[in-house]
Amino acid sequence: MTVAVVVEQAVKQFGPHKALSGISLTVAPGELVALLGPSGSGKTTLLRIIAGLESLDSGRVILDGTDASHVPVRHRGIGFVFQQYALFRHMNVADNVAYGLRSRPRATRPAEADIRARVADLLSLVQLDGYGGRYPAQLSGGQRQRVALARALAIEPKVLLLDEPFGALDALVRKELRAWLRDLHDRTGHTTLFVTHDQDEALELADRVVVMSQGQIEQVGTPDDVYDRPATPRVFGFMGESSQLAVQVRSGVAEVGGTEVASPLAPVPDGEGLLFVRPQDVAIGLAGTPGLDGVVRGFRRHGAIRRLTVEVAGAQVEVDISPSVHAANGTKVAVRFQRARLFPATGGGVDCRPPAAHQTGEYAI
C-alpha cells in the first residue's frame, strides 16, 4: 500500500538553531523523492520528523490524509533505514529481518511460520537467498545495507525513509546499490524519501529532487529541472560543478568589462547579475579570437576529459577539453560560454546563449 506524505509549514528549532523554517512538501503515493543538500541544511531533521523520531515545534505531518503529527513512531507505518545499518550484531540475518514482526503485540503478531516465510521472501527480494544464518560481521557493507532495507520492508510500511543509505560504502558499491535500489523501488512501489548530499545519487535515483539549504527548500523538481533550470544561484552552485562570473546587464546583454558574454533568452532588467556556467559548456580558443581574454592557470586530468582552470576577469572558470589537447600554464586564450544561466539582481534565473559574435566559426585551441 502506498500513501501520500504531506508536510505543512514544518518548524523545528534546536536551541538557537532553526533546523527547519516553515517547510512545506507533498510527496505523491509511490514516488521516490531525494532530499538533497549540504550538511546542516535540515534534510535529516525533516526525514526524522516524518518518521516521528523528532517532534515538530509547529506545523503538521499528514500521512494518507490523516494528521500524524502526534502519532507515536511505532504507529505511523514507517520503515526507516539508517546510514550505519543499525543491525543487531548478536542476531543473525533472518532474526534481524524478523525483528519488527516479532516485536508486535501478541494480538497483531503473525504466526511464526508466516514470519519465516516473510523473511525468506524478503531475503530473496534483496538478493540474499541463503544468507539468513549469517551474522552482520560476516557480511560486506553492501550486504548489511540490504539486510537493513529488508528489515524495514518486513513490517509492510506505508512509507520508506532512508537516511544517507549509501554514505558508509565505497564508490563502486554505492553505484551498484543505486541501480539496485531504483529497480527495487519500481518493483515494490513504496512511497520513498531518501536523504543524500550526493548530487549524482539524487539525479540518478529520484523521481523528484528537493534541494534544501539552511532549513529551507530552495527548489523542488525533476532531476532535469534542478540540474538544467536551477531556480537560485545556490541551487546552481550545488547541483554539479560550475563557475560564476559577476556581470553587468546592458540592453538585454550580459557583459564583463565591456565585452558581451551572454544573451539572455528572456527579458532581464539592466544592472548587476551573476552568470553561472558548467565546465562542459565553456569553449576556449586562441588569444585574439572572439570571447573573453583569459589565462590558463591550471591543467589536470579529470576522468575521461582534461580540465583547465582559466583566469577570466579576476575569476576562475573551469573548462572541459579533449584529453588530446595540452595547454601550459600561462597560455593566453579566449573564452566563450556556449550555454549559461543568468541570475539578475531581481527576478529568477534565465538561460543564455552566446552573443551573436560568438556563435559562428570553429572555436578550439
pLDDT in tens, 189-224: 899 999 998 898 999 999 999 999 999 999 999 999
Q: How far apart are CA 313 and CA 295, in angstroms?
A: 10
Could you give the angle at the alpha carbon of 65 between the alpha carbons of 60 and 69, nearest 5°? 25
Please, are residues 246 and 314 in contact by the beta-carbon 8 Å criterion?
no
Distances from the Cα of 129 to the Cαs of 8, 167, 226, in angstroms?
A: 42, 25, 39
222 in helix, strand or coil? coil
pLDDT score recorded for residue 281: 95
- pTM for the model stands at 0.88
pLDDT score recorded for residue 346: 85
According to DSSP, residue 111 is labeled: P
pLDDT score recorded for residue 359: 64
Please, are residues 37 and 43 in contact by the beta-carbon 8 Å criterion?
yes
Cell of 329: 600554464
pLDDT score recorded for residue 344: 93
pLDDT score recorded for residue 133: 94
pLDDT score recorded for residue 364: 56
Q: How far apart are CA 127 and CA 150, in angstroms?
A: 10
Residue numbers in the chain where pLDDT is lower than 70: 1, 168, 359-365
pLDDT score recorded for residue 81: 87
Cell of 277: 556556467
Q: How far apart are CA 126 and CA 165, in angstroms?
A: 15
Helix (H) or strand (E) holding 286: strand 282-286
pLDDT score recorded for residue 334: 93
Burial of residue 319, with CB atoms counted within 10 A of its CB: 0-12 exposed, 13-18 middle, 19 or more buried: buried
Which spans in the chain are helix H?
Answer: 43-51, 93-102, 112-125, 141-154, 171-188, 199-205, 223-228, 233-238
With b meaning 16 or more CB within 10 Å and e meaning fewer, what string describes 221-252?
bebeebbebbbebbbbbbbeebbbbebebeee
Q: Which residue matches cell numbers 503515493?
A: 29
pLDDT score recorded for residue 365: 58
pLDDT score recorded for residue 1: 60
pLDDT score recorded for residue 360: 56
Q: Which residues contact 113 (CB under 8 A, 6 or more apart)?
A: none
- How many CA atoms, within 13 angstroms, populate the side-chain half-sphere of residue 121? 11
Q: How far apart are CA 188 and CA 121, in angstroms?
A: 13
